[in-house]
Amino acid sequence: MRRDRAGTRAAAYAVLAAASVFYLLPLYVLAVTSMKSFAEVSLARMWALPSGLYFSSFAQAWHGNVAHGFRGLSANFYNSVKLTVPATAISAALGSMNGYVLAKWRFRGSEVVFPAILFGMFIPYQSILIPLVQTLQRLGLYGTLPGLIFVHVVYGIPITTLIFRNYYAQVPDELIEAGTVDGAGLWGIYQRIIVPLSPPALVVAAIWQFTSIWNDFLFGVTVTSQPDVQPITVALNNLAGSFIVEWNVQMGGALLAALPTLVVYVALGRYFMRGLMAGSLKG
Amino acid sequence: MWDRAAATAMLLPSVVAIAVFVYGFVGWTGYVSLTRWNDVLPNYAWAGLRTYADLFDTFRFRIDLLNTLRFTLAFLAGCLGVGFTLAVLLDRGLRGEAIFRTIFLAPLAISFIVTGVVWRWLLNPGSAQLGSVGINLLLERAHLGALRTGWYTDPRIGILAVALAALWQLSGYTMALYLAGLRSVPDELREAARVDGAGEWQVYRRILMPLLQPITLSAVIILGHISLKIFDLVVAMTGSGPGFSSDVPAYFMFDTTFRGNHFAQGAAIAEVLLVLVALLTVPYLIYSTRAEAGR
């Protein structure tokens, strides 16, 4: 490690501190506004600290306000949970199986199949929305949570396949050969050797999928039109676009929508980073 | 024999799903864009390329393309500049590095909708009754009141206000890419340059920047395709804006298709977007999967 002169180091800290202020400001506003009482919420005092911890903004964002005629986000929060958990699990399972076959059992055409699958994570989803709505309507899945889960599973396949394939590519071929010598077939090796080795990749894929499905808006707003089925991002956008909802309640709702993924990020940041790096195809 | 059946059973469902839901659907959207389906009920009468020709003559779409260009340039330049600077500073092994990294990357965990809701208030122009609000209020307090602007309500700024929020959300990503790149450069290389009498700046300019070029390329492609697709942030923060000053193709597509029932027009916009994204990402995809196979 290089020795910096004291002056250089102070300058570096100054820039980093200024950058930290920039990144934290919106989170600060989000947090303090949600904590303020209704009496002290004014835009002119936007940057002031709350006089105490009031959770009334959260409570309104959560329960809604019948007198003001808006719905709370509680049902939508649960919708997002009911949607994100199974969609994450299923797409991770599919990604694991695909990644294993693509990494360890090269077949004719596998070098075409892999990038062809990956392209699915780059496409603008606008280019599939019209047939998607038509198809879901025909299958009776339009406007339902199972329909939205199905959509997230399908379009989650590329990234989970990528994460698992890159991870399995590092598993020594000798392990596979040893399994073959013991008489295990492709499925047996998967069950007995590969699956037990998978937790690190599984954590990365699960965090990635949890974050992107929880944060999704486009699929949610396209597939679900009924307020009681919508995920939290869609409901939050409706709440924030409504003129009857005070802005501290909007901020309370935004914080509610942000908390689950922020908690996961703070607790498991290392794995979050790995998913991020996988997304740039650099393994 | 058994192995082949097992491999097929494991891989085929996903391959079929991608074939249908990605490639089949993209093809079907392409077909819709060549029809006269511009009403609630499907109408598959052939229109040829007329929708595309009309689209490129449409005022809103032309502005959208220009907005995409402005957004992309500002967003990319900002992310690369901020990301590189922060990475270089963090690479010096300062105390507290982990805390700074955690702060810079936190916005990545949040949805664009949350970001849009917060930044809509931060960049609120304020009004005569309210006075200054958000960032404008901070500028006023810092005696920089002259810098206050209407942000997204000013048509000259428009989409650039959205780019600022996007920069806040995603610049940590370029920081992380560059930091990983800097950490992979062996110390001996820097030492050798210093022994040869190169100053700190020259070490960066001559040794590190050329080595980091592949990272810059990945960042440009990943961020560039995000900016072509930007949608959620526009919805939550501004919508189309005054005179479509913050409108983008992805928003136009959603608006015209699902609110206006102009399905053929929406399909055409989507296909234009797809072609732009493909031009950017396909060469990169082929290159990186090939390079990996050769390893």
Give the model's pLDDT for residue A227: 92
Q: Which residues of A touch B115 (CB under 8 A)?
A: 26
Higher pLDDT, A25 or A280: A25
Kindly state whether B22 is in contact with chain A, defined as any CB-CB distance less than 8 angstroms. Answer: yes
Tokens 């998913």 appear where? A275
Q: Are residues A156 and A111 in the same domain?
A: yes
Higher pLDDT, B33 or A41: B33
Q: Decide if B90 contacts B105 (C-beta within 8 A).
A: no
Cβ-defined contact of A280 to B177 (cutoff 8 Å)? yes
Kindly state whether A126 is in contact with chain B, defined as any CB-CB distance less than 8 angstroms. Answer: yes
Question: Is position A197 within any domain?
Answer: yes
Cβ-defined contact of B90 to A24 (cutoff 8 Å)? no
Give the model's pLDDT for residue A123: 97
Question: Is position A60 within any domain?
Answer: no
Q: Decide if B12 contacts A193 (C-beta within 8 A).
A: no
Q: Which residues of A touch B225 (CB under 8 A)?
A: 122
C-alpha distance from B168 to closest chain A C-alpha (Å): 6
* Number of Cβ within a 10 Å radius of residue B244: 22
Q: Decide if A128 contacts A222 (C-beta within 8 A).
A: no
The string of pLDDT tens digits covering residues B225-242 is 999 999 999 999 999 999
Cβ-defined contact of A1 to B93 (cutoff 8 Å)? yes
- Residues B59-65, mean pLDDT to the nearest whole number: 97
Question: Is position A207 within any domain?
Answer: yes
- Residues A81-95, mean pLDDT to the nearest whole number: 98
- Residues B23-29, mean pLDDT to the nearest whole number: 98
Q: Which residues of A touch B13 (CB under 8 A)?
A: 94
Cβ-defined contact of B269 to A24 (cutoff 8 Å)? no
Q: Decide if A71 contacts A62 (C-beta within 8 A).
A: no
Give the model's pLDDT for residue A3: 55
3-class DSSP assignment, residue A64: strand
Higher pLDDT, A189 or A279: A189
- Residues A257-276, mean pLDDT to the nearest whole number: 90
pLDDT at B27 over 60: yes
Across chain B, what does the average pLDDT equal? 93
Give the model's pLDDT for residue B92: 85
Q: What is the C-alpha separation between B236 and B114, in angstroms, rounded?
A: 8
Q: Decide if B189 contacts B97 (C-beta within 8 A).
A: no
The string of pLDDT tens digits covering residues A4-34 is 678 888 999 999 999 999 999 999 999 998 8
Q: What is the C-alpha separation between B127 and A199, in angstroms, rounded?
A: 54
Cβ-defined contact of A117 to B14 (cutoff 8 Å)? yes
Q: Which residues of A touch B138 (CB under 8 A)?
A: 47
Give the model's pLDDT for residue A6: 81
Question: Is position A63 within any domain?
Answer: no
Cβ-defined contact of B92 to A47 (cutoff 8 Å)? no
Q: Are residues A106 and A221 in the same domain?
A: yes
Give the model's pLDDT for residue B292: 66
Q: Are residues A157 and A195 in the same domain?
A: yes
pLDDT at B47 over 80: yes
Q: What is the C-alpha separation between B293 and B295, in angstroms, rounded?
A: 5
C-alpha distance from A34 to closest chain B C-alpha (Å): 12
Q: Are residues A27 and A119 in the same domain?
A: no
Cβ-defined contact of A132 to B25 (cutoff 8 Å)? yes
Q: Among 1.10.3720.10, 3.40.50.410, 1.50.10.10, 3.30.2290.10, name the CATH number for the domain at B34-294.
A: 1.10.3720.10
Cβ-defined contact of B113 to A131 (cutoff 8 Å)? no
The domain total for chain A is 2
Enter the ipTM. Answer: 0.94
Q: What is the DSSP letter of A50?
A: P
Q: Which residues of B touch A269 (CB under 8 A)?
A: 102, 105
Question: Is position A225 within any domain?
Answer: yes
Q: Which residues of A touch B131 (CB under 8 A)?
A: 44
A-contacting residues in B 230-249 (Cβ below 8 Å): 231-232, 235-236
Tokens 């050797």 appear where? A193
Higher pLDDT, A280 or A107: A107
Name the token pair of A260.
Answer: 């689950």
Q: What is the C-alpha separation between A222 and B258, in angstroms, rounded?
A: 8
The string of pLDDT tens digits covering residues A139-150 is 999 999 999 999
Q: Which residues of B touch A161 (CB under 8 A)?
A: 14
Cβ-defined contact of B114 to A186 (cutoff 8 Å)? no
A-contacting residues in B 75-134 (Cβ below 8 Å): 82, 85-86, 89-90, 92-94, 100, 102-122, 124, 126, 130-131, 133-134
Give the model's pLDDT for residue A189: 94
3-class DSSP assignment, residue B246: coil
Instruction: Write out the residue range of the structural domain in which residue A138 sits.
Output: 74-279
pLDDT at A71 over 80: yes
Q: Are residues A50 and A82 in the same domain?
A: no
* Residue in chain B nearest A240 by alpha carbon: B117
Question: Is position A230 within any domain?
Answer: yes
Q: What is the C-alpha separation between A170 and A175, in angstroms, rounded?
A: 11
Question: Is position A62 within any domain?
Answer: no
Which of A20, A102, A122 is facing B277, going by the closest CB pair?
A: A122
Q: Are residues A43 and A151 in the same domain?
A: no
The string of pLDDT tens digits covering residues B122-167 is 999 888 777 888 899 899 889 988 888 999 999 999 999 999 999 9
pLDDT at B21 over 90: yes
CATH of the domain at A236: 1.10.3720.10
- Residues A77-99, mean pLDDT to the nearest whole number: 97
Give the model's pLDDT for residue B200: 79
User: Which of B1, B10, B253 to probe the A interface (max A CBs under 10 A)?
Assistant: B10
pLDDT band at A1 (very low <50, low <70, confident <90, very high): very low
Q: Decide if B269 contacts B30 (C-beta within 8 A).
A: no
- Residues A232-250, mean pLDDT to the nearest whole number: 90
Q: What percent of chain B has pLDDT over 70?
A: 98
pLDDT at A283 over 50: no
Cβ-defined contact of A130 to B126 (cutoff 8 Å)? no
The residue extents of the domains of chain B are 34-294
Question: Is position A148 within any domain?
Answer: yes
Q: What is the C-alpha separation between A263 and A118, in angstroms, rounded?
A: 29
Q: Are residues A80 and A210 in the same domain?
A: yes
Q: Are residues A163 and A30 in the same domain?
A: no
